[in-house]
Amino acid sequence: MDFSSFFQYQFFLPVFFFVLWGIVSWGWPVVSVALLPLFFPFYFGVMKFSIFGVPFTVVEWMVYVTFGVFVIRSFFSQFKRQRDQRSSFFIPIAFIFSGLFLGLFQAENSKDVFSILGIIKGWFVVPILYFFLMQKILPSCRSVRRCFEWYSISAFSLALFGIIQYIFHFTTTPDGRVSGPFESANYLAFYIVPALVFVLIRLWHLFFIQHEYHGLAGVFRRLFHVEERYSPVAVVWHILLAATMLVTLYLTRSFGAELALFLAFFGYALYHLFFSHWKLGRSRAFFNVSVVFLILTIFVSVFFVTADPGKFRQMFNVSSQSSSSVRLEVWKVSLNFLVQHPILGVGAGRFQDKYSREAQSILGKKPYESAMLHPHNIFLMFWLSAGLLGFIGFLWLSVLLFYHVFRIPGHDGAKRLALISAVMLSTILIHGLVDTPLWKNDLALQFWMVAGAIARLRNIA
């Protein structure tokens, strides 16, 4: 066995990261939790290893180490008990896990069993442990914001990678779309859009809440409990982040992501101008909303029409192969699967194989795409993969998260950051109507990070 194989799969890599990240987690627990989003994309390539045949990614290992250190420190009473309402989230999460484990009864062989258990481990256990750590370790609004800032830097890095990919013409997708290190351009769009929302709304606050604080300097100085001082460098940095991610989003030609960004941001504008603490008079609010809607519509139209004119025209063509006709087919097959398996679903990780075997007989013709990894809808994905219990749990959790955002009183830093989190969550769910976020390592961590931020902020306020 050569050195690289030894390093990657055997002893050295897990021990090295255990010691290194264990020191960080013990000495600087808040830093370890806030910094983790920077590493979310690093689950592929040489960043994997196995222990006794069980595969792990470095990010998974970092979460396990952080959680283990937290348990040890809690045993020695290093952490103060915090006011926590865990039961409100415990039940929907228990529903999700129950549905996933019941899906084991749909396994046809041992390979299916290990596949389902691997999905539960990597896409649910690890992200939910991180969700728990955010609630227990992060002490303030500032530390929650740091999570989003590090996540935005990781999204900026992937966006920059995508632009370099486009400039030097080494795209990997068959249609030439920018995908970054991922196999699909949609995955890159999934990852960067919530970060783009975070940055854009912070810039929105900079320019639209200034009447409350005496100028631009006052906005940045008091935006989050006087936790951030204004500097021109900070403004330029946020503009650079937003511009880079917007360019990359354009190059992904992911219309679902662009539409999700448009709807979520416009929804926030409506809230901000009509219902928030900073709401305007009705006539002025209508004018401002109309202006925002016009600007966003022009912006999104340019994105749609110029990014890929052929793809844009095909969106309305359901009589031949297009992204719309493919989705209509996969939704029809998925609904048929639900009729066949309404309680348990088909089991996590089994959709692709079942689609390949049964789609033609259900459709009465050969499908446009014979291999389909997922049903292109997050709600169908939950029902099919985690059964009715998992579907109910996910709906319950989503509603509960929005409920807690609007239950946070006041209009200070916690409320504002919770509102940003809600818009980030909205982009994930809206995009999830036509695609499948969350069911992937880094996207699962992204979702549960946003959920963890909301869960933590409700207790800070």
Are 13 and 129 contained in the same domain?
A: no
The secondary element (H helix, E strand) that includes residue 50 is strand 48-51
Are 17 and 155 contained in the same domain?
A: no
Are 135 and 224 contained in the same domain?
A: yes
How confident is the chain (461 residues) per 10-residue block, as mean pLDDT? 49 72 87 92 65 75 90 68 61 95 86 88 94 92 93 95 88 76 88 93 71 47 44 80 92 86 85 72 69 71 60 55 79 93 91 89 84 90 94 96 86 82 95 90 94 90 59
Of 81, 108, 139, the residue at which a domain comes to its end is 81
Instruction: Work out the number of other CB atoms within 10 angstroms of the CB of residue 240.
Output: 12
Long-range contacts, 160-167 (Cβ 8 Å, 24+)? 160/244, 160/248, 162/188, 162/248, 162/251, 162/252, 163/244, 163/247, 163/248, 163/251, 166/251
Are 376 and 235 contained in the same domain?
A: yes
| Structure confidence at residue 172 (pLDDT) | 67
| Structure confidence at residue 72 (pLDDT) | 87
Contact 427, 194 (CB under 8 A): yes
The total domain count for the chain is 2
Are 77 and 96 contained in the same domain?
A: no
Q: Is residue 29 part of a domain?
A: yes
Are 206 and 234 contained in the same domain?
A: yes
Q: What is the DSSP string of 181-240?
A: TSS-HHHHHHHHHHHHHHHHHHHHHHHHSHHHHTHHHHHHHHTTTT-S---HHHHHHHHH
Q: Is residue 328 part of a domain?
A: no
Are 198 and 284 contained in the same domain?
A: yes
Are 225 and 192 contained in the same domain?
A: yes
Contact 333, 358 (CB under 8 A): yes
Contact 230, 216 (CB under 8 A): yes
What residues contact residue 264 under an 8 Å CB cut-off, 6+ apart? 197, 423, 424, 426, 427, 430
What's the Rg (C-alpha) of the chain? Answer: 23
Are 277 and 203 contained in the same domain?
A: yes
Of 55, 81, 107, the residue at which a domain comes to its end is 81
Of 59, 81, 103, the residue at which a domain comes to its end is 81
Q: What is the DSSP string of 143-176?
A: HHHHHHHHHHHHHHHHHHHHHHHHHTT---STT-
Q: Is residue 126 part of a domain?
A: yes
Q: Is residue 102 part of a domain?
A: yes
Q: Is residue 358 part of a domain?
A: no
Instruction: Work out the number of other CB atoms within 10 angstroms of the CB of residue 166.
Output: 18
Are 189 and 74 contained in the same domain?
A: no
Q: Is residue 355 part of a domain?
A: no
Q: Where are the alpha helices (DSSP H) in 209-320?
A: 210-213, 215-222, 232-252, 255-274, 282-307, 309-314
- Structure-block tokens of residue 424: 């980030």
Q: In DSSP terms, which residues pair with 111 in a beta bridge?
A: none
Q: At what angle do helices 378-407 and 441-460 cross, to 10 degrees?
A: 20
Q: Is residue 408 part of a domain?
A: yes
Q: How far apart are CA 40 and CA 183, in angstroms?
A: 16
The secondary element (H helix, E strand) that includes residue 131 is helix 126-137
In terms of residue numbers, what domain contains 215? Answer: 92-317+372-460
Residue among 76, 80, 62, 78 at smallest CA distance from 23: 62
- Structure-block tokens of residue 46: 């040489």
Q: Is residue 61 part of a domain?
A: yes
| Structure confidence at residue 224 (pLDDT) | 43
Residue among 126, 67, 124 at smallest CA distance from 101: 124
Q: What is the dihedral of CA 153, 158, 160, 162, to 10 degrees?
A: -160
Q: How far apart are CA 8 and CA 84, in angstroms?
A: 39
Q: How far apart are CA 385 and CA 6, in angstroms?
A: 35
Are 124 and 53 contained in the same domain?
A: no
Are 100 and 142 contained in the same domain?
A: yes
The torsion region of residue 6 among left (phi > 0), alpha (psi -120 to 50) and beta comes to alpha
* SS3 state at 56: strand
- Structure-block tokens of residue 21: 């990240």
Q: How far apart are CA 127 and CA 77, in angstroms?
A: 25
Query: 356: number of CA atoms within 13 Å, CB side?
Result: 7
The label of the residue with tokens 């982009």 reads 427
User: What letter does residue 55 receive in the DSSP assignment?
Assistant: E
Residue type (1 letter), 333: V
| Structure confidence at residue 191 (pLDDT) | 94
Residue type (1 letter), 412: D
Q: How far is CA 189 from CA 181, 196, 361, in A?
A: 12, 10, 33
Greatest alpha-carbon pair distance for the chain in Å reads 73
